[in-house]
Amino acid sequence: MTKLTLGFVGLGAMGQNAARQLLLAGHRVQGFDLRQESLQTFAEHGGEVAASLAHVGKNAMGTVIFVVNAVQAEAVLFGAEGLAANAALGHLVISCVTMSAADAKRLAARCRASGLVFIDAPVSGGVAGAAAGSLSIMASGPADALEACAPVFAAMGSRVLNVGTEAGQGSTFKTINQLLCGVHLAAAGEAMAIAERAGLDTQQVFDLVSESAAASWMLRDRGPAMVMRTYVPVRSAVDIFVKDLGLVMDLARDLRFPAMVSAAALQSFLGASGAGLGNKDDSAVTEFYRLGASHHDH
Q: Structurally, how many domains does the chain consist of?
A: 2
pLDDT, tens digit, for every residue of 171-222?
Answer: 999 999 999 999 999 999 999 999 999 999 999 999 999 999 999 999 999 9
Bridge partners for 164 per DSSP: 140
Q: Residue 88: which domain range?
A: 5-165
* Catalytic residue check, 174: yes
Q: What would the mean pLDDT of 140-162 be, rounded to a whole number?
A: 97
Residues 159 and 180 in one domain: no
The answer to whether 30 touches 60, Cβ cutoff 8 Å, is yes
Residues 182 and 278 in one domain: yes
Integer Cα distance of 153 and 34 in angstroms: 24
Choosing from 3, 58, 105, 174, the catalytic residue is: 174
Q: For 141, how many CA atoms within 13 A lie in the half-sphere containing its CB? A: 28
Q: Say if 179 falls within a structural domain.
A: yes
Residues 124 and 244 in one domain: no
- Residue 291: the pLDDT is 86
Residues 110 and 180 in one domain: no
pLDDT, tens digit, for every residue of 47-62?
Answer: 999 999 999 999 999 9
Strands (E), the chain: 5-9, 28-32, 48-49, 62-65, 92-95, 117-120, 123-124, 135-140, 157-164
Q: Say if 298 falls within a structural domain.
A: no
Percent of the chain with pLDDT over 70: 97
- Boundary of a domain, candidates 119, 147, 165: 165
pLDDT, tens digit, for every residue of 228-246?
Answer: 999 999 889 999 999 999 9
- Boundary of a domain, candidates 165, 188, 214: 165
- Boundary of a domain, candidates 137, 165, 193: 165
- Residue 293: the pLDDT is 60
How much is the mean pLDDT over the chain? Answer: 96
Q: For 74, how many CA atoms within 13 A lie in the half-sphere containing its CB? A: 11
- Residue 73: the pLDDT is 98
- Residue 295: the pLDDT is 52
Residues 85 and 145 in one domain: yes
Q: Say if 28 falls within a structural domain.
A: yes
